[in-house]
């Protein structure tokens, strides 16, 4: 580690019996809302499914077993920029060539959980049908205010988090590295490439973020105009959560921090509607997987701090949003993700060297399609290992 960054400490949290007893008692005491007849998922989370999930969370879900599995990952905490940051740091196994460090950044509503299925696929490709020459050293941090990282006193935006990640990578001696992510992680990866182009060899993203264009609309192609209109339409019908996060996150946080059933409703609806699951969330996430994500949020008390990052990002100056990424950029636009940008828009905003459109997978592709996502990263970063 560098002189100004403390040595990382191994990290293996264990929930207490009192914490789990309190969680189960709250779940069993849930005060249920009514719902219109046959509403299903049309008005938000289906109450019938939520009752089923909550019942299993209270009386079937084995958090200690899930926690033990997570603790088998090489997890650490260190202080960066005055904040305690939790991260997985997994080194390449038996590489047969130069090892490229890779920082993977998650988004909302999750944590390092998003990448748990791809870590060994990336560090040890030879054991999973891949080429050992494609092995990475993988760093997967929890964003500040998410998971087991500290909650900042004031929300940090993606620009500030990118600066923290650059320092985290320096602390491990990684002066050249790749960056990848989706959702907020796409935003952070973008600013890593913008602000540290001498260090980020290439950047891979699963989306291009919310489109922002301050020029003459006549300059846009029909495909770009359709993309911007589609994003606006999606925001009008599906973006209420983001409006709350940007404007009044503390109001929602009061209920979601107190009620595990409310927390489940807030998050599971997004796992369903943003994934490539054809309306059946358990086609992509088992109950145990869903509840692992939820229990991390519950035990760390981070739903409020996770939402506040939206407010910080909403204040990023337009000039920052308009910057073009000159670092070699790749995009994997998974079929089941949210509004997908046309290539012409990607080329307007970045130095595009690769675009793929995988036929399956959605917003949580590293979890939904881990083998496919890992292969995307292996192929994209292969030319940048020298």
Q: What are the tens digits of pLDDT across the range 7-54?
A: 999 999 999 999 999 999 999 999 999 999 999 999 999 999 999 999
Burial of 276 (0-12, 13-18, 19+ CB in 10 A): buried
Q: Which two tokens stand for residue 299?
A: 């035990």
pLDDT in the model for residue 215: 87
Ordered structural domains, the chain, with CATH: 9-384 (3.40.50.1820)
Q: Which two tokens stand for residue 115?
A: 């990448």
Across all residues in the chain, what is the average pLDDT? 96
Per-residue confidence at 214, pLDDT binned at 50, 70, 90? confident
The rounded percent of the chain whose pLDDT value lies above 90 is 95
| CB atoms inside a 10 Å sphere around CB 16 | 9
pLDDT in the model for residue 6: 76
**pLDDT tens, position by position, 82-111:** 999 999 999 999 888 899 999 999 999 999
Peptide bond into 109 cis (omega under 30): yes
Give the mean pLDDT of 268-275. Answer: 98
pTM over 0.85: yes
Catalytic residues: 183, 310, 363
Task: Give me the sheet containing 177-181, strands edge to edge.
Answer: 9-10, 75-80, 83-90, 136-141, 100-105, 177-181, 200-205, 325-332, 350-356
Q: Which two tokens stand for residue 167?
A: 């320092």
């Amino acid at each position: 580690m560098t002189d100004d960054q403390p040595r990382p400490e191994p990290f293996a949290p264990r929930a207490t019996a009192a914490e789990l007893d309190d969680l189960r008692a709250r779940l069993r005491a849930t005060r249920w809302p009514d719902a219109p007849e046959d509403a299903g998922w049309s008005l938000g989370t289906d109450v019938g499914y939520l009752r089923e999930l909550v019942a299993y969370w209270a009386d079937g879900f084995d958090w200690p077993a899930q926690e033990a599995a997570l603790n088998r990952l090489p997890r650490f905490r260190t202080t960066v920029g005055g904040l305690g940051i939790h991260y997985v740091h997994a080194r390449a196994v038996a590489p047969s060539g130069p090892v490229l460090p890779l920082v993977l950044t998650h988004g909302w509503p999750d944590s390092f959980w998003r990448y748990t299925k791809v870590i060994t696929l990336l560090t040890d490709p030879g054991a999973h049908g891949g080429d050992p020459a494609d092995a990475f050293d993988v760093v997967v941090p929890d964003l500040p205010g998410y998971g087991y990282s500290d909650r900042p006193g004031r929300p940090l935006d993606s620009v500030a988090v990118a600066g923290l990640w650059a320092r985290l990578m320096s602390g491990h001696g990684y002066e050249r590295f790749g960056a990848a992510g989706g959702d907020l992680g796409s935003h952070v990866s973008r600013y890593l490439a913008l602000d540290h182009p001498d260090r980020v060899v290439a950047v891979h993203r699963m989306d291009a973020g919310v489109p922002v264009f301050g020029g003459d609309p006549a300059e846009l192609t029909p495909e770009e105009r359709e993309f911007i209109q589609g994003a606006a339409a999606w925001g009008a019908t599906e973006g209420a959560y983001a409006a709350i996060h940007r404007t009044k996150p503390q109001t929602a946080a009061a209920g979601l921090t107190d009620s595990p059933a409310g927390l489940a409703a807030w998050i599971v609806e997004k796992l369903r509607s943003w994934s490539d699951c054809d309306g059946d969330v358990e086609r992509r996430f088992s109950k145990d997987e869903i509840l692992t994500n939820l229990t991390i949020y519950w035990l760390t008390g981070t739903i409020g701090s996770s939402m506040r990052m939206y407010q910080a990002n909403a204040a990023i100056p337009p000039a920052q949003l308009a910057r073009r990424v000159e670092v070699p950029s790749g995009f994997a636009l998974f079929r089941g993700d949210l509004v997908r940008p046309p290539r012409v828009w990607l080329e307007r905003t970045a130095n595009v060297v690769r675009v793929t459109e995988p036929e399956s997978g959605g917003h949580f592709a590293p979890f939904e399609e881990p083998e496919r996502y890992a292969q995307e990263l292996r192929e994209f970063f292969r030319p940048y290992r020298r």
